[in-house]
Every structure is written in C-alpha cells, then in structure tokens.
Amino acid sequence: MKPPKRLQSLIEEGLIDSVVRQLMSGKEAMVYVVRCGDETRCAKVYKEATERSFRQAVDYTENRRVKNTRQARAMAKGTRYGRQAQEAAWQSAEVDALYRLAAAGVRVPRPHNFHDGVLLMELVTDAHGDAAPRLNDVAFTPEEARRHHAALLAEVVRMLCAGVVHGDLSEFNILLAADGPVIIDLPQAVDAAGNNHASRMLLRDVSNLSGYFGRYAPELPRTDFGPEIWDLYQRGMLHPDVVLTGRFDRSTAAVDLGSVLREIEDARAEEAARRQRLQTVV
C-alpha cells in the first residue's frame, strides 16, 4: 500500500522498507504492518490530541515529570509549546513503559524504535503467523477463561513489581498470541509509587479482567484478586511468583472522615501554592 505521510520519514531513514497494510485504528493511534528487512513488525502512529477520543486525564499524567524545566513550566501553564511537550511526553510514556516491562519479563510487544512520533515494535502473531486477535474477538470455554485470567493476573503482578500499573486494561488491549495473552496500549500507564490514583486503577484493571472472563467462568467476578494484590504490594510482600488466593479480608474499622477531608483540603492548598510558585517563576 502507499505509505502514509507519517511513515514516510521512517522509510527515508531506513527504519522500515515498506508498509504492508493497516492493522487497526484505535482511540489513540493507527497501527500498520510494516516490513523491516526480513522481519514483519508493526508501526504505531499516534494521533494528534485533537483527533483522539482518549484524553490525557490528570489522573494518568499525575507525577509525570520532564527534565527540562522550561517544558515543565509550559506544560503547567498550558501554552502551545507546553501542549506540544505534553503530547511528546504522553507518547514517550508508552515507549518507556514497554522497555521497562519487557526488561522485567512482562508479556508486552518487544519495542524496536521510536522515531518522529511512531513506535516500531514486534508484531504479535497467532498460531498461523497472522496478526493476533484481541480478546474481545475470541470466545472461550470456562477452562480457557480461567487459564487466561490466571495468566493475566500474573502479568499484572509482574507489572506492579516493576512499578507500573496499566491503567486502562481490558479485553480491547490484550492480544491472544499463539503462546498466550500479550498486553498492549500503554501510553496511560502510571507509576505505582508516584501516582495517587494507582491503587484505584489497579483495582479497575483487575476488575475488568474478572468481569470479562466472568462471562465464561461465572465465579471469577466474585473474587478479590485486586485488593489482595494491592495489599501485598503495600506491605512489600508482592513478588512475581506470589501465590494468589482471590480472597481479601476488608477492614471493618470506622473511617475517620475528618482526616480524609483534611487531607483533601491540604492537597488543594498545596496545588494552589504550586501554581502560584510557577506563575512567580515564569
């Protein structure tokens, strides 16, 4: 096929030889099958922010830092330059997460290069060598559902041990390769220790998995893997080979509502002070 404009620079740089076909169009990017020498890979071309249906919500970008202080100030003020810098940071977040998770042994596509807003990575394939389907395009027996659910929980644990929470995990961003599930789409991944919303996102990711596979194995939505995983992480007891039970004893102690409200007000005051400091610096 005729190479899209966004891929032309990669051809000129010799990073890809040809574009075979469009693989998919998602809420954040277009993905193409490309040839690189003797290998077939995929090229993820990120959409402009105005074209995406997935927005860079504050929950996801919290605590993401850039080394350039000028960029940081511009991003905080929302200037045109700041929006461009924020867009670059959003894209590079997936690249960073992929390299980090691949090194930790998590089942993600192997990244090869990132150039001019295009991510080159491994093409995940099925048993026939074709592009692997997403989970939502496959039906399972109860036993298959339980096996894949357990395998993905192990990947969630491995990710968390590497300090990463996917943040948007569902049947739509997991591929079923010949040798099992592979997790994709990570630009919204968050730092487990540095993001205040990480626990909520982890619980939602795990709930999404149990909810989806619960269509085939009805007992799965009644499990408590999410709270169990996060509790082990908080207590420093989580490791890649941990044996999960799916059970979690929730605390019945009364919540100190006054303390919660004070923490919220303190956080608001700190944010207001931070914004004031940035305005003073600029």
Domain ranges of the chain: 54-106+126-234
pLDDT, residue 250, reads: 76
pLDDT, residue 282, reads: 41
The ranges of the chain with pLDDT < 70 are 49-89, 251-282
Burial of 154 (0-12, 13-18, 19+ CB in 10 A): middle
Tokens representing residue 274 in the block: 């931070």
pLDDT, residue 245, reads: 97
pLDDT, residue 55, reads: 46
Name the residue with tokens 């540095």: 194
178, amino acid identity = A
pLDDT, residue 92, reads: 81
Closest CA to 136 of 176, 166, 167, 168: 176
pLDDT, residue 48, reads: 72
Q: How far, in Å, CA of 208 to CA of 149, rounded?
A: 11
Closest CA to 278 of 74, 37, 86: 74
pLDDT, residue 116, reads: 87
Is 1.10.510.10 the CATH number for 54-106+126-234? Answer: yes
pLDDT, residue 66, reads: 43
